[in-house]
Structure 1
Amino acid sequence: MRRSKYDPRRPVASSERKTTSAMIASIAGDDVPTIAAPFGNALTKLAAERDDIVGMTADLSKYTDLHVFAKAYPARFYQMGMAEQVLMSAAAGMAREGFTPFVTTYAVFASRRAYDFICLAIAEEMLNVKIVCALPGLTTGYGPSHQATEDIAIFRGMPNLMIVDPADAIEIEQAVPQIAVHQGPVYMRLLRGKVPRVLDEYGYKFELGKAKMIVDGQDFLFVSSGLMTMRVLEATKELAKEGVSCGVLHVPTVKPLDTETIVRECTRLGRPVIVAENHSVIGGLGEAVATTLMREGANQNIFRQIALPDEFLDAGALPTLHDQYGLSTKAICGSIRSWLK
């Protein structure tokens, strides 16, 4: 039976408690190198080369790293206050005047509160607005009001809107100039604050619209996006010590999907396919990949998902929540071991 939010919660033993803040600045472990504010710094660098770039936010510049841009280019920064619908409409107007607005807010506010304005003012008109949103999925412990667990599901059905889910700071830095060049609206999930630096270890280069194999393996194939690529890469290293060989196919562009690469890698070697995503099990990368394989007649392999449940999530410290909902490296390794039995 599903627990109601009004039901008593299981007491958490002191050994299980984490002291980390619910609004933790980084989802990296202590031993993972980080880069501070990669989005804000990449946008500032781009703005030095393009005078059409403007930054706009709904009272969240500090919490979306746009304050870096605002400090460097105050005349090109627009603080719209707590009015996300106005923010999106104003961005549409700026785009019509030839600017390329980078709009920031939290993912919950863009997807739930401003959906209709993004749809009709931006996407239908194919305007050049880049919507960059912090706190995607389970990257905050502040509970359902801030956890955008269904943002990709909401936006996947919107025509003309590209969806990008970067894995780390390196990819954010590389994605910013590429989404700026793309003609049309983009929704990019943002890891902000001190963001893990992971992909440079593998010589990875971001290409808009492309999925890429980061490591290869014989026993399982992870298909992942966002921070879950970092987690499955960590899990792959741990599982290799036990003789389990896993490949990792990173899919940073969730819409449109790189169907050619996904079908090729998911059918090669006959490996079980495991889609790992920081999103609800409903409507995200997992269902997009499953549908692609079905349509292409390539769904012969075992298919599983590592994703958030179809429910409103608890509040708390992120390490505890990631263990609880199966997104931590430890939890991923546990899932693989259980599937090997």
Structure 2
Amino acid sequence: MTATTTTTTADATTSAAPEAVPVKRSAAMIASIADPGVPTTSAPFGHALAALGERDQRVVGLTADLSKYTDMHVFAAAHPERYFEMGMAEQLMVGAAAGMAAVGLVPFATTYSVFATRRAYDFLCLDAAEPRLNVNIVAALPGLTTGYGPSHQATEDVAILRGMPDLTIFDPADALDVEAIVPAAAALEGPTYTRLLRGQVPRILDRYDYTFEVGKAKVVRPGDDAVIVSSGLMTMRALLAADTLSADHSVELSVVHCATLKPFDEATVVAQLDTDRTAFTAENHTVVGGLFETVAGALVRRGIAKQVNPIGLPDEFLDAGALPTLHDKYGLSTQSVVDRVLGALR
């Protein structure tokens, strides 16, 4: 989608809106998720895909009228002959990507998370997952990463997709993760779904001894007082909260990052939780059907009785509004994580 296209998607509506719409309000509704002081990288997915396309002529890019708003425009500019604009037809896009994969191409298809999951589920399931084709769905606006209300907030996307056989689900924390996931997804058998962080994406994991591996959870930051198992942008928030807790409250919080939600690294996560430390999960997703319930299931299967405190979105449709305000309201801000940890430790 370009800024001149007339459509009902959130970002294009913003760009095409009458001048009377307050610019400050619109910007706040699609604000960067980066906390103050955290460096960012512009369009890491688009640049990583373009670089992969240079190395592998099989790589193709598709989008459902959202090139600019999923960073696919970077790939389109670098490889126009391998870029396909499918229009506002997500089901068609997934079916076309499956056909491309069936003849040996490596497709990456982008749209918003709500459209990939709510509209195109059956096509992803039967056209890509059942025949185990390498169709890579890269979906922007996962969870609460837009202020445009329930029509664009994919708060339940992981819950929708977790039951699909042979689907790999990635939830990157930052630009470093995004850059590593692109070539890793291309090398896998079967389809992948990535909860895309787009635009100006935080870059924080390079401060730590961290390397992305498919299907592996990593202890990014050790800590003796409490442990938080996190994914996606909440790993950034957990790491920032850990810094505050250590500096201001002498509380050492361990952060375990799960960049892969399926298959899930139960062994690493359970080993970190089966201690006397106070435990949390943190996810940019409803607490129904996502990371919290994945962790709870892993503990129950191993007969481990351990209380885990979930930090996540409520089981309800969320408000529209300025994104920073919504993160405070629904408990995803860094300060909210700090407060939850201190409250549980008192």
Mark yes or no: TM-score above 0.5. yes
TM norm structure 2: 0.91
Could you tell me which residue of structure 1 aligns to residue 299 of structure 2? 293
Match of 1:176 among 182, 186, 197: 182
Could you tell me which residue of structure 1 aligns to residue 128 of structure 2? 122
Q: Is the 8 A contact 1:270 1:301 kept in 2?
A: no
Match of 1:255 among 252, 262, 274: 262
Q: Is the 8 A contact 2:299 2:306 kept in 1?
A: no
Residue 324 (structure 2) pairs with residue 319 (structure 1): yes
- Provide the C-alpha distance between the structure 2 equivalents of 1:335 and 1:265, rounded to a whole number of angstroms: 19
1:107-150 deviation digits (Å, cap 9, x = unpaired): 00000011111111111111110000000000000000000000
Q: Is the 8 A contact 2:112 2:140 kept in 1?
A: yes
Could you tell me which residue of structure 1 aligns to residue 283 of structure 2? 277
- Provide the C-alpha distance between the structure 2 equivalents of 1:174 and 1:334, rounded to a whole number of angstroms: 32
Shift of 1:203: 2.7
User: Secondary structure at 2:27's aligned position in 1?
Assistant: coil
Shift of 1:20: 6.7
Amino acid at match of 2:340: S
Amino acid at match of 2:312: A
Residue 327 (structure 2) pairs with residue 303 (structure 1): no
Match of 2:253 among 246, 263, 266: 246
Shift of 1:32: 1.1
Residue 87 (structure 2) pairs with residue 69 (structure 1): no
Q: Is the 8 A contact 2:278 2:344 kept in 1?
A: no
Residue 148 (structure 2) pairs with residue 142 (structure 1): yes
- Of residues 201-210 and 141-150 in structure 1, the stretch that sits farther from structure 2 once superposed is 201-210
Q: Is the 8 A contact 2:28 2:324 kept in 1?
A: no
- Provide the C-alpha distance between the structure 2 equivalents of 1:259 and 1:29, rounded to a whole number of angstroms: 30
Shift of 1:172: 0.4
Shift of 1:24: 2.1
Shift of 1:23: 4.1
Q: Is the 8 A contact 1:22 1:142 kept in 2?
A: no
Q: Is the 8 A contact 1:271 1:301 kept in 2?
A: no
Amino acid at match of 2:49: L
Paired residues for 1:193-212 under 5 Å: 193-212=199-218
- Provide the C-alpha distance between the structure 2 equivalents of 1:46 and 1:270, rounded to a whole number of angstroms: 44
Paired residues for 1:10-21 under 5 Å: 21=27
Amino acid at match of 2:166: N
Amino acid at match of 1:329: T
Identity percentage over the alignment? 59
- Provide the C-alpha distance between the structure 1 equivalents of 2:94 and 2:25, rounded to a whole number of angstroms: 37
Residue 220 (structure 2) pairs with residue 219 (structure 1): no
CA RMSD of aligned residues (A): 1.1
1:61-119 deviation digits (Å, cap 9, x = unpaired): 10000000000000000000000010011111101111010010000000001111111
- Provide the C-alpha distance between the structure 1 equivalents of 2:27 and 2:297, rounded to a whole number of angstroms: 38
| Distance change (3 Å), C-alpha of 1:23 and 1:56 | farther
1:295-317 deviation digits (Å, cap 9, x = unpaired): 0112x332110000000000011
Amino acid at match of 2:335: K
Q: Is the 8 A contact 1:221 1:274 kept in 2?
A: yes
Match of 2:340 among 332, 335, 340: 335
Amino acid at match of 1:200: D
Unaligned residue ranges in structure 1 (runs of 5+): 1-17
Amino acid at match of 1:189: R
Unaligned residue ranges in structure 2 (runs of 5+): 1-23
Q: Is the 8 A contact 1:40 1:66 kept in 2?
A: yes
Could you tell me which residue of structure 1 aligns to residue 116 of structure 2? 110
Amino acid at match of 2:245: L
| Distance change (3 Å), C-alpha of 1:96 and 1:57 | same
Paired residues for 1:150-169 under 5 Å: 150-169=156-175
- Provide the C-alpha distance between the structure 2 equivalents of 1:330 and 1:151, rounded to a whole number of angstroms: 25
- Provide the C-alpha distance between the structure 2 equivalents of 1:174 and 1:119, rounded to a whole number of angstroms: 25
User: Secondary structure at 1:89's aligned position in 2?
Assistant: helix
Amino acid at match of 2:239: L
| Distance change (3 Å), C-alpha of 1:216 and 1:313 | same
TM norm structure 1: 0.93
Could you tell me which residue of structure 2 aligns to residue 96 of structure 1? 102
Amino acid at match of 1:336: V
User: Secondary structure at 2:55's aligned position in 1?
Assistant: coil
Q: Is the 8 A contact 1:22 1:140 kept in 2?
A: no
Q: Is the 8 A contact 1:232 1:329 kept in 2?
A: yes
Match of 1:84 among 72, 90, 98: 90
